[in-house]
């Protein structure tokens, strides 16, 4: 008989059929449990031993569930959820110049960003995302919504050459961005990154200042890069060099750089990416929908480049579903590389979790389920027609599970989703608010 007085008191104990910690060797631990105290993972052990060892305030028994690290959405524009489906089936520059940027000029405001961020964060939590890397206007607003909600976020201190509702020009963007960085620099869940939009929207002088500030503040640089052939050809026309060469000249190609899309790459550029230590964010569904091209994931990985996964914004994807994005990344990589072994299930899950943490510089405390790390965790119910029988839990998560099977989510030990129900957001109010925005935008 267990002596309850000899058991160690903890905050939370979660038992489940499979734990997929995303650690060396890619183990799948059957009939295991995770013990959590004060927001940290304090133990990973067999369920029978856990029940003998720990006395938990909150005991979650999740049979036929897989517990994985929370997904890290390494690139998105969260508030653009309010433009979802507004301008589909268009090429990137047509989509931006003739539809999205005019809509932003009309509607962009603090309220738009706050409401769009709530909608996006609710969707992300329900899909198992525990951290997102955002690039959009009013980053202070998105950061505050994320903080209130309890999700982890890296907010981009966006930079453009041209004015917007957020800034009048580069100097104003930098001034406001530094204020956001100062506001959140000690926040337990919110990080910042410098976010020059793209080489074709930011000139040399602001890009040089980005490099200087990234060094000074020791934060990442988040940029769209080599997204389309038009971008590359425009750079050759306007600067006499390809975008990566231009960023190398300006000193931006280093381990702080998070390069999004990277569909147009020569062999030499892949080697340069590896040598410089940059991180690549693969957004397969957005690239497919906008016909931007194919990220050479297999070649990048063989060169030693850290590849992670992002959804992009819901205005171009049209969702923030990392399970769906991960499956698309895994299958597309095989076709592009003409090799069925490219980006196998374990690598795809790494790209959606720990690799994103590495890109954001937060892998020391999130991205995998290990003792000492923050308890950023997602439970996926595999007792479902589409994921039975379970020959291999990791493969089922990557190739068969849907976001509707995400049942429970924790960030830093705090539960944000319980049995499919949001705990820190009012789903009905968000849906009603989104309908009101639809009426405004359509009128």
What was the pLDDT predicted at 304? 98
Q: Which token pair is 249? A: 């000249």
Write down the pTM of the prediction: 0.97
Measured CA to CA, the distance from residue 366 to residue 376 in angstroms comes to 7
Where b means 16+ CB within 10 Å and e means fewer, 119-131 reads bbbbbbbbbbbbb
Contact 33, 60 (CB under 8 A): no
Fold of domain 4-69+373-412: Urease, subunit C; domain 1 (2.30.40)
Which residue carries 């959140």 as its tokens?
184
CATH topology of domain 71-360: TIM Barrel (3.20.20)
Please tell me the predicted confidence (pLDDT) of residue 187.
Answer: 98
Collect the ranges in the chain with pLDDT lower than 50: 1
| Residue 10 φ then ψ, to 5° | -140, 170
In the structure encoding, which two tokens stand for residue 208, read together? 């040089």
Q: Which pLDDT score, from 0 to 100, does residue 4 have?
A: 56
- DSSP letters for 346-396: HHHHHHTTHHHHHHHT-TTTSSS--TTSB--EEEEE--SGGG-S-S-HHHH
191: part of which helix (H) or strand (E)?
strand 190-196
Going by C-alpha positions, the residue among 48, 62, 30 that lies closest to residue 391 is: 30
Q: CB 422: neighbour CB atoms within 10 A?
A: 18
The pLDDT score that the predictor gives to residue 198 is: 98
By DSSP bridging, strand 279-282 and strand 306-309 are parallel
Among the listed residues 76, 201, 186, the one whose alpha carbon sits nearest the alpha carbon of residue 135? 76
Q: What is the pLDDT of residues 385-394, one digit of tens each?
A: 999 999 999 9
Domain ranges of the chain: 4-69+373-412, 71-360
């Amino acid at each position: 008989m267990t002596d309850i007085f000899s058991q160690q008191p903890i905050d939370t104990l979660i038992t489940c059929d499979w734990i997929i910690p995303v650690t060396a060797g890619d183990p799948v631990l059957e009939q295991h449990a995770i013990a959590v105290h004060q927001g940290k993972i304090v133990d990973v052990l067999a369920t029978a031993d856990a029940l003998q060892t720990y006395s938990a305030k909150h005991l979650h028994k999740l049979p036929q569930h897989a517990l994985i690290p929370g997904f890290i959405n390494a690139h998105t524009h969260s508030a653009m959820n309010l433009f979802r489906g507004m301008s589909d089936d268009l090429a990137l520059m047509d989509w931006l110049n003739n539809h999205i940027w005019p809509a932003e000029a009309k509607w962009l405001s603090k309220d738009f960003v706050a409401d769009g961020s709530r909608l996006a964060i609710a969707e992300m939590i329900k899909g198992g995302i525990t951290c997102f890397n955002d690039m959009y206007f009013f980053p202070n607003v998105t950061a505050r919504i994320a903080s209130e909600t309890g999700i982890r976020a890296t907010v981009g201190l966006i930079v453009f050459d041209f004015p917007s509702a957020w800034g009048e020009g580069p100097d104003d963007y930098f001034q406001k961005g530094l204020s956001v960085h100062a506001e959140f620099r000690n926040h337990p869940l919110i990080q910042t990154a410098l976010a020059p939009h793209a080489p074709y929207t930011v000139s040399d002088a602001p890009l040089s200042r980005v490099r200087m500030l990234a060094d000074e503040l020791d934060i990442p640089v988040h940029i769209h890069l080599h997204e389309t052939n038009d971008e590359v050809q425009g750079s050759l026309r306007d600067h006499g060099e390809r975008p990566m060469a231009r960023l190398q000249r300006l000193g931006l190609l280093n381990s702080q750089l998070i390069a999004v899309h990277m569909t147009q790459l020569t062999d030499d550029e892949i080697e340069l990416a590896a040598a410089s230590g940059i991180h690549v964010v693969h957004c397969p569904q957005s690239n497919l929908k906008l016909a931007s091209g194919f990220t050479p994931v297999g070649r990048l990985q063989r060169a030693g480049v850290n590849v992670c996964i992002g959804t992009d914004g819901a205005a171009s994807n049209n969702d923030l579903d990392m399970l769906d994005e991960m499956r698309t990344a895994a299958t597309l990589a095989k076709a592009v590389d003409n090799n069925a072994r490219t980006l196998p299930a374990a690598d795809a899950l790494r790209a959606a979790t720990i690799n994103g943490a590495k890109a954001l510089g937060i892998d020391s405390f999130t991205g995998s389920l290990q003792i000492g790390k923050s308890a950023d965790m997602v439970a996926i119910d595999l007792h479902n027609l589409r994921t039975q029988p379970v020959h291999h839990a990791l493969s089922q998560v990557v190739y068969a599970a849907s976001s509707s099977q995400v049942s429970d989510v924790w960030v830093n030990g705090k539960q944000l989703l319980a049995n499919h129900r949001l705990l820190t957001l009012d789903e009905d109010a968000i849906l009603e608010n989104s309908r009101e925005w639809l009426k405004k935008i359509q009128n």
